[in-house]
A and B are shown apart, each in its own frame.
Chain A
C-alpha cells in the first residue's frame, strides 16, 4: 500500500465515522418529546451482591419490564456501609436513567457521620417499598423470658451482658444506643458487620442478645426466641412478640427500603418513577414475592420519607455527639 492510498483509506474511514456519529445524533434527537423510559434504567445496589437490598431490588425488577418496558441493569457499588454508592448516584447525570436503592434511616447518617459524600438535598426519593422492623433475638433456651426480664437483668448487672448490634454507625446502632441511654442501661455492645454475622453470633451464643432485622433468622426460627420488635405494629411473621412501644419503651427503629434518584431529575420523570414503583408495590403478586424473601412491603411516599429522615437526623446528631461516633 502506498502512503497516498493509506491516507485515502484513513480519510474514508474518518468520513464514515463522522457520518455514523451524525446519523446517531439525528436518531437520538428525533424523539424530542421523549418517551420515558426509552432505554434500560441502571440501578445502583450500594452493597455486595446477595444482600437484603439486592434481593429486594431483584424482586422489584421482576415487575419492571411490565411497568417500564425494560428490566433494570444492576450495578454493585459496595463501600462505606452503602454511602459510597449513594454518593456516586448523587453525582451522576440526572437524566432518569440512573437510580439507586438504599436504606433509611442510614441515608440520613452518611452526611452526619462523614462516611457519605452527599447531602440529603442532592437526592430525590422515589419512595419506600418495604419496612423491616428490628427484632431483639436470643437463643431459645436463654434465661430471658421477655424483654422486661432482659432489661431488668441488664440494670442489675451493668456491663456484664453482651448485646450484639449489626452495622457499626448504622441506623439500628444509633437507635439502640438512644434507647439504652434513655432507659439508663449499661451493656457491653459488640458490633457486627451485618445481619448475617449478627445472627451467627446470636446462634453461637457469642452475645446474650442481638438486634437486627428478622430476615437473617428466618432459617433458624426454631433455635431463637424474640424478646421484642421495634416498629409501630407487631411483625406479621412473629405475631406473638410484643413491640417495644407496647412495653412502654418508644422505639420505632427499623430499615426502610427506599429507591433514589439524583435531585436534578426532571420532575415529570420523577413522577413517572414514583407512579411506576407505587404501581409495582400495589400488585398482589409483588407482595407475595416480597414475603417469600421475608420482607414486609410498606409504601411511603418520597416526600414523607424525606420528612422522617429530617426528624431522625436531629436525634441522631445528638447521639453521634454524645458517643463520639
Chain B
C-alpha cells in the first residue's frame, strides 16, 4: 500500500501528467482513425520513452495503450468501422444508435464504460498480478481451443433471426483464416502461389476493407446527404451517468470477463468483448433490442475491451512473458531501462512497477476528462456531408492498410476484402461474424493442433480430454451458449407471434 502511494506521488508531477495528457490525446486519435493501431503508436513512441526515463516513459506508453484501445470505439460507433478486432461488438449496437440520431449517447456510454472497465482491470492488476499470472498458466492449448470455440458459439448466438447467414459469414472468416502458414506445423497452404499470403490475410487491412471500405462505398451510395442525423443532446452526460448506475451488473460482468480473458496470454481482446457482449444480451430483459441500438451492448463490449488492457499486462509483469504485442513492446522498454519483468519484479524494482501501475489508474481518470472533451469533436464527423466523408474514409483506409506492413500488399488485401464486404452488405449477410471467424480461427486451430500433439503422449484422446477440468468447463459453456441462443430465439419468436396475434384481433 505504502509503495502504491509512493507510486502515485511519482506520477503526480507536472511533467508526467503533461506527457500523459498528450499521450492520451494522441492515443484517442490513433485509436479512432481506422487502420492505425496501438502497437504502431507505442513502438513509434519508444525512442521518446527511452529519452524520458523509466517512470515518465512507461506512463506514456501505458497511457497510449489505454487511450488507443478506447479510441477504437469512436469509429465503430460513428461509422460502423471498428479499427481493432476488440471493438467489433461495439459497432453492433453503437452504429444503430448513431443511425437513430443518438450518437452522443453511444459515444459517452463507450467512454464511461471504458474508463470503468479500465479502472477495474487496473485494480485487478495492482491487487493480484503475481498470483493471477500463475493462474493463467493453467490455460494450455486445449483450453485456448475451447475458449475460442466459446467466442465462435457467441457468433451463432448474436446472429439471432439470421442464424444461417451469421454462420455462413463466420465460416467464410474461418476459411480465410486458413490461408497462410499452418500455425502448428509451419506448412504453407492455400496461398495460390501468391507469396505474401504466406503470412495469412493480415487482420488490420482485412478489417479496414470489410468494415471501412465497404462502409465508404455504402456512404457514397446513400441518397441522404449525411450518414445519420446528428444533434448534440443536452444533458446526455448526466443521463448516462445515471445509466451507468442502473447498468452496474452489465458493467461488472463486462469488466470481469475482460479482466479474466485479458490475463490469458494470446487470447486477445476480441474474445473478451464478444463474450461480454453475448452475456449482456443473454441476461438482458429484452434481448431483441440488441443489435438494434441497445446501449447495454456498447457498455458490455467497451468495459470488457478496456478491462483487458491492464489485465493483459499480468503475465508480462508476473512472469516476464508478454501476452500480446502491446505488452511485448512495453516489456522491451522495461528491459531497456534495466528492469526485468517477472517474478522478481516486486523485490527488485518495486518503485518503477508501482509507479507504472499507478500511472494506469491516472491514465484512466485523465481519459475520462480528455475523452469528454474529445467526444464533442469526434461526433462532428457526422456533420461532414457524405460526398466528403466517403472519399475521406477511403483515403484513411489506403493509408492504414499500407502502414500495417509498409507494403502495397496490405492495400490489395484491403481492396479485396472491401469488395467482399460490400457484396455481403448488399446480400444482407452480417460482416461481424466473418471478422470474428478470421480473428478466432487461428487461435482455435493452433490450440487444436497443439492439443493433438500433446495427446500423442497419452493412451487415448478421451483420457487426455477428461484430464483437463478447465477445458471441460469451457466445453460445457460452449454447449450452454448454443442452447441459450436457441432458447432466446424461440422466446422472441413466440413474443413476436403473440404481438402479431394481438394486432390481428
CB of B199 within 8 A of CB of A80, answer: yes
CB of A71 within 8 A of CB of B456, answer: no
In this assembly, does A255 line the interface, its C-beta being within 8 Å of a C-beta of chain B?
no
Cβ 8 A contact of A49, one of B183, B186, B329, B456? B329
Q: Which chain B residues lie closer than 8 Å to A196 at the CB level?
A: 265, 321-322, 328
In this assembly, does B398 line the interface, its C-beta being within 8 Å of a C-beta of chain A?
no
Cβ 8 A contact of B405, one of A61, A78, A199, A205? A78
* A204–B199 alpha-carbon span in the complex (Å): 28
A-B contacts counted at CB < 8 A amount to 167
Q: How large is the interface on A (under 10, 10 to 19, 20 to 34, 35 or more residues)?
A: 35 or more
CB of B321 within 8 A of CB of A188, answer: no
User: Given A76-B43, A292-B335, A293-B335, do A216 and B453 touch, yes or no (CB 8 Å)?
Assistant: no
Cβ 8 A contact of B321, one of A193, A200, A207, A325? A200
In this assembly, does A279 line the interface, its C-beta being within 8 Å of a C-beta of chain B?
no
Cβ 8 A contact of A219, one of B137, B183, B319? B319
Smallest CB separation, B268 vs chain A (Å): 13
Residue of A nearest to B191 (CB): A80
Chain B interface: which of A27-35, A156-164, A177-185?
A156-164
User: Given A50-B329, A191-B453, do A55 and B335 touch, yes or no (CB 8 Å)?
Assistant: yes
Q: Beta-carbon contacts of B299-334 to A below 8 Å, as 1s and 0s? A: 000000000000000010011111001111111100
Q: Which chain B residues lie closer than 8 Å to A50 at the CB level?
A: 39, 43, 322, 325-332
Q: Which chain A residues lie closer than 8 Å to B405 at the CB level?
A: 76-79
* A87–B450 alpha-carbon span in the complex (Å): 29
CB of A203 within 8 A of CB of B450, answer: no
* A88–B335 alpha-carbon span in the complex (Å): 30
* A203–B343 alpha-carbon span in the complex (Å): 12
CB neighbors of B among A192-227 (8 A): 192-193, 196-197, 199-201, 203-207, 216-223
* A219–B318 alpha-carbon span in the complex (Å): 8
* A88–B345 alpha-carbon span in the complex (Å): 39
* A12–B457 alpha-carbon span in the complex (Å): 78
Q: Which chain B residues lie closer than 8 Å to A205 at the CB level?
A: 137
CB of B340 within 8 A of CB of A219, answer: yes
Q: Beta-carbon contacts of B14-43 to A below 8 Å, as 1s and 0s? A: 000000000000000000000000010011
Q: Which chain A residues lie closer than 8 Å to B319 at the CB level?
A: 199-200, 203, 219-220
In this assembly, does B185 line the interface, its C-beta being within 8 Å of a C-beta of chain A?
yes
In this assembly, does A48 line the interface, its C-beta being within 8 Å of a C-beta of chain B?
yes
* A58–B450 alpha-carbon span in the complex (Å): 33
* A71–B265 alpha-carbon span in the complex (Å): 33
Smallest CB separation, B182 vs chain A (Å): 8
Q: Which chain A residues lie closer than 8 Å to B136 at the CB level?
A: 200
Smallest CB separation, A12 vs chain B (Å): 28
User: Given A117-B195, A193-B446, A200-B315, do A219 and B338 touch, yes or no (CB 8 Å)?
Assistant: no
In this assembly, does B369 line the interface, its C-beta being within 8 Å of a C-beta of chain A?
no
In this assembly, does A289 line the interface, its C-beta being within 8 Å of a C-beta of chain B?
yes
Q: Which chain B residues lie closer than 8 Å to A252 at the CB level?
A: none
Q: Show 8 A/B contacts (Cβ-Cβ < 8 Å), sorted by A.
A: A48-B39, A50-B327, A50-B331, A80-B181, A80-B198, A83-B198, A115-B181, A220-B321
Apart from A189-B453, A191-B184, A220-B321, 5 more pairs, CB < 8 Å? A62-B50, A168-B184, A197-B266, A223-B343, A292-B338
Q: Give chain A's interface residues, CB within 8 Å of chain B.
A: 48-51, 54-55, 58-59, 61-62, 71, 74-81, 83-84, 87-88, 113-115, 117, 159-162, 167-170, 187-193, 196-197, 199-201, 203-207, 216-223, 289, 292-294, 325
